[in-house]
Structure 1
Amino acid sequence: MANRIFSRTFKIKRFSISFFSNEIVIVFIGDKKIHIKTIRARIPSRGLKRKRAPRINPSIRTRIPPRKKKLAFALSSAIIAIVLVFSLYPSRQKEAGVVDDETIKKNLLESKQTDYSSPEKSQKLVINEHRVVSGESLHKIAKKYGVSVDTIRGTNNLTSEFLQIGVVLKIPNKDGILYKVPKGGGLVAIARKYRVSLKKIIEENNLKNPDFVATNAVLFIPDAKPLNIFSGFLWPSGGRSITCGYGWRRNPFDLKSTEFHPGLDIRSNFQSVRASKYGKVTYSGWLGSYGKCIIIAHPGGWKTLYAHLSRIYVRSGQYVKQGQGIALSGNTGRSTGAHLHFEILKDSRNINPFIYFRKRRR
C-alpha cells in the first residue's frame, strides 16, 4: 500500500483536522477520551485488475484529480460543520448548566424553604400497623411513614435489619418508642433512662395522675433516643479518606481552569450515609450536577448537604437523629467516581467541614 503524503493540519479549539493525499483525519480531544475519525478517499483503479497491482506506477495511486480534491474538501468541511454544531455547542450548554446548578443550589440553601423549624407539638399520636411484604426494608418502611429506623426498631424490639415477611409492625406517626412499664417502674426513672423530659412524657400520654402508672401500661416516649450523640457534627460516612478538600482546586472536568470547592469529597463506595446532626430534612431529591441530594436544617441556623447519592432513605419534612442512616453514597450527577460530597453551612455561608472533625471523628 502506498504511503500517505502529508498535506496540511488545521486546529480549531479541541479539533484537529489533517488533510492527506488519500485520507482526512479528524481528532477531537474530549474531557475523558480522544476521538479519531479517518475518512479515506476512493481512488479509481484505472481499469487494472488487482492481481496486476504490483505493476502499477505508485504515483497513479497517490495522485487525486482536482475535481476529487474539491469534492473531498467540501465533504470534510460539511463534516467539520456538523461536528462543531453537535459537539461544541452542547458542551457550552453543559458548562452553562453547571454554573446554573450552583446558582440553584445557592438559592435553595439561602431560602426559607430549607430553614429549620421545630416539630409541631399539636400533632396527635397515631399508631399505624404495617404488614411486611417481600422486598421491603426498615429504611424503606421508615421513609414511607416519615419516622426514623430507630423508632421502628425500638417500638417493635427489633435487634437486626432482617424483616420476616408477614410480620405486623407498630409504627407511631412521630419519632419515639412504645414502652411497657415494668413492675415498680416510675415516670422519673423512665425519663432519666431515655433522657426525655418528664413533662413531655406526661403531655404526650395525657396522664391525669403522673404519680401512679399501672404496671404493663404502654406509654409513648417521644424522642426516646438522644437527639445528638454529642454536641458537634458526626462524620457522615463509613469512609475516612478525603479525596478533595475545601477550597480552590483545579476543575476535574477542565484542567485548564480552577473552581471553588465548598465542601469535602469523602471516598465512599456506595456506603451508608448518616445524618451529621439532629435536624429536619428540608430537601430530598435531584439537584442538577449534584445528583441525588439531601439538605438537613439544624437548630441554630446550621445546614448540612449530602450529594451524589445513589439511594435516598428520607423525605422532605422528616426529622432525623444524629447518626441515623439517610442514604447510600454514589456517583449520580456530575461526578468522576463514587463518593460523598458533604457541606456544612452556618447562616447560609459555607464553612470548612474538616475543622469540626479534627478533634473527633466517629
Structure 2
Amino acid sequence: MHLKCTLLARLLYVAMGVIFLLAPLPGAASGLQAAPPANAPLALEAPQSASVSVVQGQIRNRTLYEALAACDIPPAEILALSKSFKPVFDFRCSRPKDYYQASVDDQNLIRKFIYKTSPLDEYEAVKDDNGGYTVHKREIVLDRQVVAKVFTIESSLYQAVVDSGETQQIAGLVAEIFAWDIDFYLYPRKGDRIAVVYERCYKDGAFVKYGDILAARYVGKQKTFSAFLFNNGQFDGYYDETGQPLKKMFLRIPLKFGRMTSSFSIRRFHPVLKRYRAHTGIDYGAPMGTPIFATANGRVTFSGWKGGYGKLIIVKHSNGYQTYYGHCRRLLKKPGQLVEQGQVIARVGSTGLSTGPHVHYEVRVNGKPINPIKVKKSRGKPLKPELLAAFNKTVNERRLLVENLLKEKTSLVMLIRDN
C-alpha cells in the first residue's frame, strides 16, 4: 500500500489527554473518527424496481431451503440456486448468523441472490437465460486506517497490547514478524518498548480485520530489533534498516505463544522418573491442542509413538539438522511429507513421560542434541543493490515515525484515512 502523503505530516498525537492534528487528513473530515463496533449489522441492498420485492434475513437455525421456502419460493427454484452455488459455496456449511437477500419477481422467482457469511465473504447469483444462475464471490473494497502505537511491556507483549485497547491479534502479528529473533516468552524485560505501525481495515464503517504491519521496532534492555515491510510486486517480506531479510533458517520457537517450562540441561531432575538425567531440548507449556509449527523447511522422517517422547514428529533439515517435537496430542504429518517453516505439523499434548500439556522441542546436528537457543540462524539473501533505492524510499518515512514515537513519554496514536 502506498500512503498518499507523508505520515509525519498527518500525525495525530495524544499527550496529556489532548489530541493535536498537525495536518488535515486527505479525503476525510478532520479529527478522529471513532471506530464502529465490529459486530455492526451487514448492509443489505434495496429492491431494483417496483416489480421486484426483497426477502432477506439470517439463516438462524434453518437450512437455506427452509428459509426460502418460508418465503414461498418454489422448491425447484431453491434447488437450482443451491446447485449453481456449489462451485463457490456449499450451503451445508451455512451458519446461523449468515445473511441472505433475494430479489424476487411477481412469480416468486429469484432474479438476484446475495449471501453473506462475513463482512469479507459475500456471494452473488444472477439469473441467466437458461433458468440457472451465474454465481461469483464479490470483490470487497476495504477502507484502511494506518495506526501507530507504542506498547510498553510490564508482563508480556500480549498483555501490553490488550491493555492498550487492541486485540491479541496484533500481538500475534508482531510475534510472527520477529519470530526469527525474539522469543517473546523468554526475551522481553519489564519496561521494554515496541513501536508498531499497522493497518486497521473497515467495511461500511465497521472494523473487520487488521491489515499489514508496516513497521515495528522493539527496544529492549538487551538489544533493539527493527522490521519494515517491503513489497514491490516481486519481493514481499520484512527487512531490517539495511535491507537484510528478517527471515532465517530457523524460527526461535515452534509455537506462536508458549512459556518455557524447562530449559536445555545436561543434568535435570526429571519430574516423572524422579532422578537426574540430561534434558536434551526445551519444553514450552501451552494449552492442550495449541498448534505446533515446523521451525524450518524439511521432510518428516518420523511420526508416531517413541517411548518417553510420547507422540513425536521428527523433521530432517539441510546441513545435518533435525528437529524433534514431542508429547504431542495429534500428529498432522506423515513420514516422507515435506513441510515448510511455520506450517502446523502437530498439536500440543501431554503424551509419554509428561506432567502437563507442553511441547518438547529438540534440535540435533548430525545426531547430537544442541541447545535450541544457540542454533545459528543464517539469514536469507539481502535485497539486490538495484532495489535498495526503492526500499530506502519506502522505509525512511516509517523509520522516522517509529523513532519519533519512541522519543515520547506516552503512547502516540495516528489515524490516517487511506482510501
Please report the TM-score for the alignment, with normalisation by the length of structure 2: 0.31
Larger radius of gyration: 1
The one of the two structures with greater contact order (alpha-carbon pairs below 8 A, sep at least 6) is 2
Q: State the TM-score, normalizing by the size of structure 1.
A: 0.36
